[in-house]
Amino acid sequence: MQLGFKIKHHFFNAFRELFVHHHGSLEFRAKIFALIISVNEHINEDIFTIVKDISLNIYDGNDDRANLLMMSTKELVQKVTDDNGLDVDSLIISIQKELKIVPRYAKKIDIKALTPLVNLTRDPDTLAYQKNILEFLQKTKDDILAVTKL
């Protein structure tokens, strides 16, 4: 990753809401990725490479935006794994609250795009947990879209 991007990211991190277009949407996506990733005990850089690839597809090749999503996801995963006041349950509650406030975010839940993150998991218990999370996300998405008719 470029040094210039890292410096820009740290600056933007402090003032993200002011400088990043559609900050809320990006943060919501980062929470979704972090939810799937953080339940895995064996997190490596391959996972974040996949996040970057998915992000490039989401943002039509916009490398800066994809890097921001990847870095935001890394930060959230780090907070969960460091037991830094954030855990899986908190992420789920936060996602549910955001969906109540901004129902159109439900369209940003793409189970097919999240599947490669699950496919890296080798532990059967973790894999089952991740699949349950995917089912929960799909059900939540379906419920929100059915009620709001977006």
pLDDT single digits (tens) 14-41: 554 444 444 688 999 999 999 999 999 8
Q: Which residues lie below 8 Å from residue 32, measured CB to CB, with a gap of 6+?
A: 95, 108, 109, 114, 137
Q: Vertex 3, ends 68 and 58: CA angle to 5°?
A: 25
Give this prediction's pTM: 0.83
Compute the 3-state secondary structure of the chain and give helix, strand, coil in percent, each to the nearest 5.
Answer: 80, 0, 20
What is residue 20's predicted lDDT score, i.e. its pLDDT?
46
